[in-house]
Chains A and B, each alone.
Chain A
Amino acid sequence: MYPAELKYTEEHEWVRVEGNVARVGITDFAQKELGDVVFVELPGVGDSIKAAESLGVVESVKAVSDIYSPVSGQIVKVNEKLEDSPELINQDPYGEGWIAEIEVEDPKELEGLLTAEEYQAIVEG
């Protein structure tokens, strides 16, 4: 149910690691809990961020939800499409609905992330 090639956080972010870049988004579970996403606040490209710091904000009609960075590093790319089409997070959370790409400072941090199986156990627990 949760893509096996991704890593996850307890705060419902997913991470796709390619080389030293981590692409981050929110999980299908998170988008369903939030409901219709109507606004996304993206981080600035070039910003440095620490793991667990706020990477941005996703707002549904009812709720405001912080996105926490799963890793430390520098923001190298953000999904600007979300500014006009925040609904991509609902429609395709692991694809078109990605949020930002971070150049990973310390690859060891990735080891602390959850596997799909571990994440699923938390969500269903």
Chain B
Amino acid sequence: MAEGRKTPLYSRHEELGAKFVEFGGWLMPVSYQGILEEHRAVRTSAGIFDLCHMGEITVGGERALEVIQEATTNDASTLPEGKAQYSLLCRPDGGIIDDIIVYRRGKDFLLVVNAANREKDWAWLQEVNKGRAELADASDEIGLIAVQGPQAEKICRSLTDLDLGALGYFNHTEGELAGAPCLLSRTGYTGEDGWEIYMPVQYVEQVWDALLAAGGEDLEPAGLGARDTLRLEAGYTLYGNDIDETTNPLEAGLGWVVAWDKGDFIGKEALAALKEKGVSRRLVGFKLLERGIPRQGYPLHKEGEEVGVVTSGTMSPSLGEAIGMGYVRRDLAGAGTELEVLIRNKPSKAQIVKRPFIKPSVKR
């Protein structure tokens, strides 16, 4: 039996017949009705996800921006109130500590971090901060529910007076939803339009129940299994699979969140040197041309020589094809290149394709 911390929605998941899995120290639903069914629901209608395991760290006070600018790679100084940005925490050597979302709330910031990295990020931020900004780990006080899919806006709108239609991708607003004080953010990890809803943890069950009731047949609870197939089709990296402290933003294709011109930040020097020298490998997407499913850790070969490794792979429910991501030697990382994935020591032909595998339908 899997073990771990339980979110406030654990009993709801049990009632829904969920299968559980240990993830980042938490006992999370991996699926309810089946991953394929939940994946389909998010692509065609809507799915609801319990993301209470995610970590939330607040950064406030006069020197909040200064600390954020130093600790993250993206430029938070240009982030207006009501906007959010994807960003990274890097080590001095450029290794990725975590990938995060930075929300601007007035002069303060809310950082949303991966569940498995919460303690590590918290310790790191305190070390970087040196008492300048007011840091707080609010993970135990803030709950998070995501509603994702083409019907997500309609479902959320039925429970709030907020003008959700006016908000674009990576915008957020605050107000009441289903009687609870919430921060609603037009973001997600599925490649679909949708919302991530933050609220004080005591309101989580109330909001979950209200959303499920409002969504009716249009909304299905979806677990981590579908979350993984959805994000992989959308080409998003997963911390712990595709990125970690031994990988850097440039080889991971995340150079777009490195703001070279914003001034000093941790990792800048190492990353600039790497940019000058050129990376030795790149994270690519690929499709299998033969039968089989690529999985994390399988070697990637070119004419019998090992040239990389698979970091994520699955049978894409939307495409009906086996897809994956992995690091490949730079000279072989172009789209169209044919490689072999070693599946149980047998080579299967694969071809590098551009990410994303499916075009995201997020609202621009």
Please give the residue numbers on chain A whose beta carbons come within 8 Å of chain B beta carbons, in ascending order: 35-36, 38-39, 41, 57, 59-62, 64, 83
Report the 3 A-B pairs with minimum CB-CB distance, sorted nearest first. Answer: A38-B315, A61-B35, A36-B36
Known contacts A35-B35, A35-B225, A36-B37; 6 additional CB pairs below 8 A are A35-B19, A35-B31, A36-B34, A61-B35, A61-B315, A62-B30
- Tell me whether chain B's interface is mostly helix, strand or loop, or mixed: mixed
- Among residues 340 to 359 in chain B, which have CB atoms less than 8 Å away from a CB atom of chain A? 344
Of B127-135, B139-147, B289-297, the one touching chain A: B289-297
Contact A61 B344 (CB under 8 A): no
The binding surface of chain A is classed by DSSP as: strand
Separation of A9 and B36 alpha carbons in the complex (Å): 28
Count of chain B residues with a beta carbon within 8 Å of a chain A beta carbon: 19
Known contacts A35-B31, A35-B225, A39-B315: A61-B36 contact under CB 8 Å: yes
Q: A35-B35, A38-B293 are in contact. Are A61 and B19 (CB under 8 A)?
A: no
B36-A59 in contact (CB<8A): no
Q: How far does the Cβ of B223 sit from chain A's closest Cβ, in whole Å?
A: 10
- Complex CA distance for A61 and B36, rounded to whole angstroms: 8
Q: Which residues of the other chain, A, contact B292 by a CB distance below 8 angstroms?
A: 39, 41
A100: min CB distance to chain B, Å: 17
- Judge whether A39 and B293 touch: CB under 8 Å: yes
- State the Cβ distance, B8 to closest chain A Cβ, in Å: 25
Residues of B within 8 A of A83 (CB): 291
| Contact residues in A for B293 (Cβ distance below 8 Å) | 38-39, 59, 64
The complex places the Cα of A94 from the Cα of B4 at a distance, in Å, of 35
Whole-angstrom distance between the Cβ of A30 and the nearest chain B Cβ: 14
Q: Which residues of B sit under 8 angstroms from A36, Cβ to Cβ?
A: 34-37
Q: Are B344 and A62 in contact, with the CB atoms below 8 A?
A: no
B295:A35 contact, CB within 8 angstroms: no
Contacts A38-B293, A57-B344; A62 near B35 (Cβ below 8 A): yes
Could you list some 20 contacts between A and B, CB below 8 A? Answer: A35-B19, A35-B31, A35-B34, A35-B35, A36-B35, A36-B36, A36-B37, A38-B293, A38-B315, A39-B291, A39-B293, A39-B315, A41-B292, A41-B344, A57-B344, A61-B36, A62-B30, A62-B35, A62-B225, A62-B228
